[in-house]
Structure 1
Amino acid sequence: MNREAEPYGTWKSPLTLETITDTANCPDLVDVLVDPIASIVYHIEKRPAEGGRNALLRTETGQDVAGGDWDIKTTVNGYGGAPAIVHDGIVYFSHGKDGRVYRVSVDGPNNVPEAITPENSSHKFANFDVCPTDPTLLICVFEDHTGAVSSSDVVNSLAVLNVSTKTVSPLHHDASFYSSPKFSLDGKHLVWVEWDLPDMPWIGTEIWVADVLATPGPPHSLLLQNPRHVAGEHGKISVAYPTWVSNNLVLFTSDISGFPNPWIYDCSAGEAKPVFEIPMAESFGYGTPPKRLGWSPYAVANAQGTTTVFTAIKDGRSVLYIVDLTTGVADLLPSPYVEIEHLRPLHPDQNQIVFLGKKADAPPAILGTQPVHIIYYVPTNPKYAGLDGEKPPCVLNAHGGPVGFSAQSLDTTKQFFTTRGWAWLDVNYGGSSGYGRVYMERLREKWGVVDVDDCIDAALILSSAPHNLIDPKRIVIRGSSGGGFTTLSALSARADARVFAAGASLYGISDLQRLTRDTHKFESGYLTMLIGADPQVLLDRSPISHADKIMAPLLILQGDSDTAVPPSQAEVMVDSIRTRGGVVEYKLYAGEGHGWKRRDTIQDALKRELQFYKRVLGIEDTEFEVSEDE
């Protein structure tokens, strides 16, 4: 096929703004659920065209279980996750609009959800499990904002929901945070994860097990006895994802070796042991650390509970292993998926599991050496080729988190640019997960330094010999949330910051001191890990302290309902740059929080970002009508 030679950045792309938000052709899947009694698969997907709500669908039929305006969502810990569970044909879910827990029958005649928790806007629920001996009782993670003036006043705990009496009974509340409460198969034991501030769950957590006893009531509830520590240590060892593989054995991951690897705890012996005799230098789990609740990086694959299928990160992408828990042998499975999430057992007696797998549209080229990992996507469009001798403009993306991970799965935002003749560069800078604890620890007290250095170095390396892949004068940097902080820092904090021709910060952090006052409880101790305790360092690392050094044009996009990074973070930077006569464009989106959820916002933000880059780089724009900032 003959391809037209056109300047990079000017190609007409088949990937339109409508395609980005077309969930019918490219659904944005949030989670996969399995009814363990009926062995029926469900999934949660985002609906940008329906006000950004999350819908729960029966996967086989596409039936929207709740329908209407029901939003299957929770904001526990700020980021939510695990908003629903399906058990014996009944769905229990948190409704995003009021935070209450509802139940609905998947086969009911009207499918009208019924509230099972009292009306209270200060209460939030997530991460449910149904008691095997009494299905009218659910364990959950409970977040209580009653009387909270600041994030430190928010109380997190484990709680019991009584479906019959519609009451909430606190169960355990000694720690700052909880996750993953799960009953043993016989209902006699409960396992959970807990951690205390200032730790984040990938820094230091503990797994605990306790005996479960029923209370006579009323209201009928549960209590815990004989709690014992399983594994993990605050500030030093991260343990995660506990699951019962039998009535006495708990499977989990621990990064005590430097990489998260599988471990087994025997309740009878009171002892935890690694599954592998020699630890593997691979992260068994997600590329991104466990910020959201309910993630599952493995599934039990046989009735005996001795075989599991794990996802792990190898060479920057997800792979699958069959792990024999009795022998410690891990066999790599062939897989076309570059990102694998939410593994769930379906028919263990038939060796069946389900998971969410994502493919790349074409194999990307992976370049780079330690200590920084980068993924480079070439401009690709079957109708076009670049002009002879021309190097493409490049969008360098700094992921959020900041200890997140840029996966290699299909991402329509990246394709929105690459199909229009732009190169895209993902930088898994020092601190990113998926490459072991030592690599993640590079960012400890070095946020705004290591991440910035790695992004700048990546841009310089790819734009110079021997690679010469991108135009050194047409590199832009962008990032959202923590990636926005990296973007703002990269444009202001280093002498060679002018390597970037422009930048875009999407709900990014500009003032670390302000963030310590405004952020939610979950991350209220996070900055101590990332920056340190010295107030002067907090000030020095804040991009707002160096706004006068930002010479490159800057685009800032922000939601007015963002509680993780409030609009004040964006506005203080905008005001500072405008006061000194700098170039900054600002758009505030009404009703949006920490990340876009509405179709019109997603489309406008992408179009606005592309137009901004084209204007500052002098690339002709004939596709969209040029719009200025508002």
Structure 2
Amino acid sequence: MTYATAPYGTWESPIDARLVAAHDGHPEYAGTVGAEVWWTEPRPAEGGRRALMRLRPDGSGPAESVLPEPWNVRSRVIEYGGRPWAGAARAEGGPLVVFVHHADQRMYAFEPDAPRAEPRPLTPVSAVGEGLRWADPVVLPERGEVWCVLEEFTGQRPTDVRRVIAAVPLDGSAASDRSRIRELTGDADRFTTGPRLSPDGRRAAWLVWDHPRMPWDGTVVRLADVTAEGSFDDVRAVAGGVRESVAQVGWAADGSLLYSGDASGWWNLYRLDAAAADGAGAAGAATPLCPREEEFGGPLWKIGHQWFQPLEDGTVAVLHGRGSLRLGVLDPATGELADAPGPWTEWAPALAAAGTRVIGIAASPRSAYEVVELDTRTGHTLVVGSAHTDLVDPAYYPDPAERVFPGPDGREIHAHLYPPRHPAAGAPDGELPPYVVWAHGGPTGRAPLVLDLEIAYFTSRGIGVAEVNYGGSAGYGRAYRDRLRERWGVVDVEDCAAVARALAAEGTADPARLAIRGGSAGGWTTAVSLTSPLTEGLYACGTISYPILDLAGWATGETHDFESQYLVALVGRAEEHPERYRDRSPVHHADRVTAPFLLLQGLDDVICPPAQCDRFLAEVAGRGVPHAYLAFEGESHGFRRAETITRAVEAELSLYAQVFGFDRPDVPRLELTT
């Protein structure tokens, strides 16, 4: 390999946009059916569908996709979705699996080992609003039912919706008869998770919360007795509250209730004697199992996330840490916590267990997410599915570092730095690299430190990336999350700017070639950063993907029910602070935009609708600011189709090439208009 000296941004790389698109997304919703391991897996080349994968325990072969195109195992409950499948082992006939099909949101039953197996519908279609949706199921063959979340639209508006825990017959009798579905709870609670049944089946526990709270603000653990007829009796609240977020609830083998709550300021694991819990001060009797200033939970963006999993010997598999989450096994009796071996530094909230085996989905800065199994008897770990494969020389991957930067008022800002890296290219002496600040979505989310081919696409060409976990991000305790309360569009913008300025000041980045980009809430932060006096002249350009651009519109019917009152916490009540809704919205400050930008939007997006982009572009038009708008049919919130991802990645590179002053003849030139 011949070493070449070439300007930053011009290096040749084998990581092209098609490779990025082909490996976009990662496995989710790992689970076990008897001794088998199942999960969902993305298929960007197949219209962005999610395949349902099955790994048999007998070593008869690799994991297989049990459903062909166009079956797409994905729920739309709360729009971000939730666990879309569950299964039960049977003595004869093989497993029984239920799943939600994205196209019609119906729940189907499937017996993969049956002759000429075909999915059969269990739920009906409703013509009201967005219809009926299902998530977080539990299959109960002995009762002949599936217990799960039912989201039912009652009108045409996105907020005309109710949610309950429901029981769906496994015999298919409800497929054309809504009345056959039993509702196990009322709809007084706006949001609910699916039920978790005690080992003896006599109790059920679940989480609820209500507007304007988000689940990371405050949730309540509800507990009920399960009658012989299969109804819920004596429903009571036993943990959580308005200012305590419980992220997950489950049951230990001895029948005690386990939950991950942040009463201490960190999501820690607690045990509660369910038999003694009567709702009168029961939460005060909860015992912390491993009190630490670490997170044993996270934000419940998708219903059915699992950060812990009780094991049959009384220990508990847990995800824990500050920032990155690692897998450990906790002994509740002693508080001893032993971490699993292996190279993985980040575990997704998708734990499952079967006997002494723990199944998870994990990644590292050198490997993408893969399905991993830990044998708690031996302490050995191995990859069992979606194994990472280096499709190019790993020398083209970035070599990232975790950094903590000083912010305004002396606050800490967590970030991941990905410098340019190439095995056979370097820049001329004295040249500083361009850097792009990446603002993650959420905003109550977190950018994980893992291998991301989209980041490698840029770093292997000589463009650095700085992922900023700005104030408001999860993973660093409640106080860090709460920094963003009523200060969205301020703290996030300040923190991203502080990182960019620090990189320039220390000589890491070229101060004249800084950019910012992000999607969803990160798109908001990017757009505000291009229109805010706080960042005037800092960024040379920006890439804005499926963003929020108009707070007032978003708060009055332009988004889905789950986030329809999110702005109460992020900005304040609109009737009390109307000036904030106007002053922080990019749509009202198009006159401040001076830097070129690329705007990317899915036309089927109901979370951040294209109408907001239309209004923003109308305000920008004719102001002499170079920009481009790419809108994609069939894409919603976040892109899933290979052709869309390819076009978006290449367009972003072309923007940087034009603004930063280097040539990229290997990608189509992005046409910028004014």
Q: TM-score range by the shorter chain?
A: over 0.9
Map 1:139-150 to 2 at 5 A. Answer: 139-146=147-154, 148-150=155-157
- C-alpha offsets along residues 515-565 of structure 1, whole Å, 9 cap, x if unaligned? 112111111110101000122211111111111101111110001100000
One of 499, 503, 507 as aligned partner of 1:468: 507
One of 55, 59, 79 as aligned partner of 1:59: 55
2:537 match: secondary structure: helix
For 2:226 and 2:550, how far apart are their aligned partners in 1? Answer: 46
Shift of 1:185: 1.8
Does the 8 Å contact 1:299/1:343 carry over to 2? Answer: no
Shift of 1:298: 1.7
For 2:472 and 2:265, how far apart are their aligned partners in 1? Answer: 13
1:339 aligns with 2:346: yes
Matched residue type, 1:354? I
Identify the residue that residue 245 of structure 1 maps to in structure 2.
252
Shift of 1:33: 1.8
Shift of 1:108: 2.2
1:199 aligns with 2:213: yes
Identify the residue that residue 30 of structure 1 maps to in structure 2.
28
2:516 match: secondary structure: strand
1:158 match: secondary structure: strand
Map 1:65-214 to 2 at 5 A. Answer: 65-88=66-89, 89-121=95-127, 122-131=131-140, 133-134=142-143, 136-146=144-154, 148-164=155-171, 165-166=173-174, 167-172=180-185, 173-214=187-228
Shift of 1:241: 1.1
- C-alpha offsets along residues 82-119 of structure 1, whole Å, 9 cap, x if unaligned? 01112111110111011110011121232310001123
- Aligned-pair Cα RMSD in Å: 1.8
1:291 aligns with 2:301: yes
- C-alpha offsets along residues 560-582 of structure 1, whole Å, 9 cap, x if unaligned? 10000000111111111113332
Does the 8 Å contact 1:578/1:584 carry over to 2? Answer: no
For 1:379 and 1:330, how far apart are their aligned partners in 2? Answer: 37
2:348 match: secondary structure: strand
Greater mean alpha carbon deviation, residues 242-251 or residues 376-385: 242-251
For 1:543 and 1:110, how far apart are their aligned partners in 2? Answer: 55
- C-alpha offsets along residues 44-63 of structure 1, whole Å, 9 cap, x if unaligned? 01111111111101135332
1:572 match: secondary structure: helix
One of 313, 337, 353 as aligned partner of 2:358: 353
Q: Relative to 1, partners in 2 of residues 1:386 and 1:347: Cα closer, same or farther, differing over 3 Å?
A: same
Matched residue type, 1:521? D
Shift of 1:332: 3.9
Matched residue type, 2:572? G
For 1:74 and 1:476, how far apart are their aligned partners in 2? Answer: 35
- Normalised to the residue count of structure 1, the TM-score between the two structures is 0.93
Greater mean alpha carbon deviation, residues 57-66 or residues 328-337: 328-337
Does the 8 Å contact 1:198/1:525 carry over to 2? Answer: yes
Identify the residue that residue 481 of structure 1 maps to in structure 2.
520
1:330 match: secondary structure: strand
Greater mean alpha carbon deviation, residues 60-69 or residues 46-55: 60-69
1:242 match: secondary structure: strand
Map 1:449-464 to 2 at 5 A. Answer: 449-464=490-505
Shift of 1:587: 0.7
For 2:605 and 2:346, how far apart are their aligned partners in 1? Answer: 28
Shift of 1:181: 1.5
For 1:603 and 1:109, how far apart are their aligned partners in 2? Answer: 40
- C-alpha offsets along residues 157-215 of structure 1, whole Å, 9 cap, x if unaligned? 11111112333222212200001411112221111000000000000000111011244
Identify the residue that residue 218 of structure 1 maps to in structure 2.
none
One of 508, 512, 527 as aligned partner of 2:551: 512
Does the 8 Å contact 1:431/1:443 carry over to 2? Answer: yes
Matched residue type, 1:297? W
Shift of 1:344: 3.4
Q: Relative to 1, partners in 2 of residues 1:584 and 1:144: Cα closer, same or farther, differing over 3 Å?
A: same
Matched residue type, 2:317? V
Does the 8 Å contact 2:271/2:288 carry over to 1? Answer: no
Map 1:229-268 to 2 at 5 A. Answer: 229-234=237-242, 236-246=243-253, 248-268=255-275
Identify the residue that residue 280 of structure 1 maps to in structure 2.
292
Matched residue type, 1:282? E
- C-alpha offsets along residues 305-336 of structure 1, whole Å, 9 cap, x if unaligned? x211211233x322223211122233344442
1:611 match: secondary structure: helix
Identify the residue that residue 419 of structure 1 maps to in structure 2.
460
Does the 8 Å contact 1:181/1:192 carry over to 2? Answer: yes
Shift of 1:399: 0.3
Map 1:290-309 to 2 at 5 A. Answer: 290-301=300-311, 303-304=312-313, 306-309=314-317
Does the 8 Å contact 1:34/1:344 carry over to 2? Answer: no
For 2:594 and 2:228, how far apart are their aligned partners in 1? Answer: 65
Shift of 1:625: 2.9
1:47 aligns with 2:46: no
Identify the residue that residue 382 of structure 2 maps to in structure 1.
none
For 1:487 and 1:211, how far apart are their aligned partners in 2? Answer: 49
Q: Relative to 1, partners in 2 of residues 1:625 and 1:521: Cα closer, same or farther, differing over 3 Å?
A: closer
For 1:441 and 1:592, how far apart are their aligned partners in 2? Answer: 32
Identify the residue that residue 394 of structure 2 maps to in structure 1.
none
For 2:218 and 2:430, how far apart are their aligned partners in 1? Answer: 51
For 1:427 and 1:59, how far apart are their aligned partners in 2? Answer: 37
1:553 aligns with 2:600: no
Q: Relative to 1, partners in 2 of residues 1:524 and 1:85: Cα closer, same or farther, differing over 3 Å?
A: same
Matched residue type, 1:479? G
Q: Relative to 1, partners in 2 of residues 1:401 and 1:244: Cα closer, same or farther, differing over 3 Å?
A: same
For 1:67 and 1:606, how far apart are their aligned partners in 2? Answer: 28
For 1:278 and 1:185, how far apart are their aligned partners in 2? Answer: 23
Instruction: Structure 2 unaligned segments of length 5 or more: list them.
Output: 57-61, 90-94, 175-179, 367-397, 406-410
Matched residue type, 1:491? L
Matched residue type, 2:119? P
Shift of 1:277: 6.7
For 1:610 and 1:274, how far apart are their aligned partners in 2? Answer: 52
Matched residue type, 1:352? R
1:499 match: secondary structure: coil
Greater mean alpha carbon deviation, residues 159-168 or residues 38-47: 159-168
For 1:485 and 1:399, how far apart are their aligned partners in 2? Answer: 10
Q: Relative to 1, partners in 2 of residues 1:579 and 1:625: Cα closer, same or farther, differing over 3 Å?
A: closer
- Normalised to the residue count of structure 2, the TM-score between the two structures is 0.87
- C-alpha offsets along residues 99-140 of structure 1, whole Å, 9 cap, x if unaligned? 110011121232310001123251011110123742x11111
1:579 match: secondary structure: coil
For 1:496 and 1:522, how far apart are their aligned partners in 2? Answer: 31
Identify the residue that residue 10 of structure 1 maps to in structure 2.
10
Does the 8 Å contact 2:650/2:668 carry over to 1? Answer: no
